[in-house]
Amino acid sequence: MKDRSNFTSKLGFVLAASGSAVGLGNIWRFPYLAAQYGGGTFLLIYLILAVTFGFTLMTAEIAIGRKTGLSAIGAFKVLDKRFNFLGILAVVVPVIIFPYYSVIGGWVVKYFAVFISGGVKASAGDTYFTDFIGGTFQPIGWFLLFLALTAVVVLCGVEKGIEKVSKIMMPILVVLTIIISVYGLTLDGAMEGLVYYIKPHMADVSAKTILAAMGQLFYSMSLAMGIMITYGSYMKKTDSLESSVRQIELFDTGIAFLAGLMIIPAVFAFSGGDRSALSAGPGLMFMTLPKVFASMKFGGAIGTIFFLLVLFAALTSAISLMETIVSVFMDRFGWKRRFTGILVAILAALMGIPSSLGFGPLGFITWNNLSILDIMDFLSNSVLMPIVAFFTCIFVGFIIKPKAIADEVKETGEPFKAEGMFNIMIKWVAPIFLVIILASSIASGLGWFKI
């Protein structure tokens, strides 16, 4: 096997993997789900799942990557040829996600440009966002710009590109999130939102809340899409795997928590405690928050910082998605990084254009009231990711056995402190939950019932 690029340090690996996990799911999806499913109740359940379910799957994926030194397709094939299909499925997920994710990333670049040029009042207009995404050339132009920014970093490689950018972006992202969170808490009425966000109410605990938290965990931690396997393949054998996973978890969950702290109290303050203002999904970021910033003192500056933060989060996740695809082609065909990166960027551009036009010229193409972008999101996140995660659990729990992962974790000579929990979760608890998530997600997506 050819010499493989490595992260130069454990910090570089942790920040890059955290950058992959921290994305739009943390910034807008986590806050509106927390608002919808009981605030502090959702938060508590999510934290419990993160340190059990999330830890288990992330440990397994990173260990598989480091053990084989290969990306998803090669890794599963080397460990057991019968599971070559699982590597292929795992790679299909980022292939689907990366193009439409870059479309949303283009929206973020657009709003950052609007705010930095002083257009805060215009962005707060009732139809500003829908007029923008309903166009043709503007959405495509911003989408291609975001895609180009992502490609430049990936073309620079693991050490000079991904690791270097992550070391700069991730600390800045944390600082900006804290600044906006603290500022938001000073607004009149924000304390009501804070209490709602951090105080659990046991009456709100339900199957729907647990399933929503589990689905968010997938979305947020970059699980079941080959990313952590790819990043694990770049991890040095001398770095502690278990502590790295814990640090990634802490970083990802901390950013999600701060995003809720940043958004929920502020929107509470400007909506008079109306929770419905928090349930707009993507509209929360592109429709509700610009109105909040337009009403704030120094709102233009705060909004500019916010969208810079979101841009950083979107870029780090997009970089990991693209790197996973590039790594697979490089491993499979032996192509050079530059050629592979350019090819993947061109293919992503072609695949992303329909999603970009799905709210405008191609808006007539829908399924069950879902746009092209929404269909791609449903297929990848609600169908393929639970399937990949389920078979990964079966693969680790019953084919290569949990001991294979435990031995990789212990490679540095340190004990695997959570080995007992890992064994139970990977063999029994996680697969059962994943079957329930898949069934409920498909039923909800088909309109049989709503989660």
Residue 449, pLDDT score: 47
Q: What is the CATH number of domain 10-445?
A: 1.10.4160
Q: Bridge partners of 367?
A: 370
Query: Can you give the residue ranges of every domain in the chain?
Result: 10-445
DSSP percent split of the chain into helix, strand, coil, nearest 5:
80, 0, 20
Distances (CA, A) of 286 to 107, 267, 306, 420: 8, 13, 12, 44
User: What is the DSSP code (8-state) at residue 118?
Assistant: T
Distances (CA, A) of 272 to 36, 193, 256, 293, 413: 16, 10, 24, 15, 56
3-class SS string, 315-333: HHHHHHHHHHHHHHHHHHH
- The whole-chain average pLDDT of the chain stands at 89
The pTM for the full model equals: 0.91
Residues (pLDDT < 50) of the chain are: 1, 449-451
Amino acid at 422: F
Angle formed at CA 109 by CA 104 and CA 113, multiple of 5 degrees: 145
Residue 203, pLDDT score: 80
Asked if residue 118 lies in contact with residue 300, where contact means CB atoms within 8 angstroms, the answer is yes
Residue 1, pLDDT score: 43
Asked if residue 320 lies in contact with residue 222, where contact means CB atoms within 8 angstroms, the answer is yes
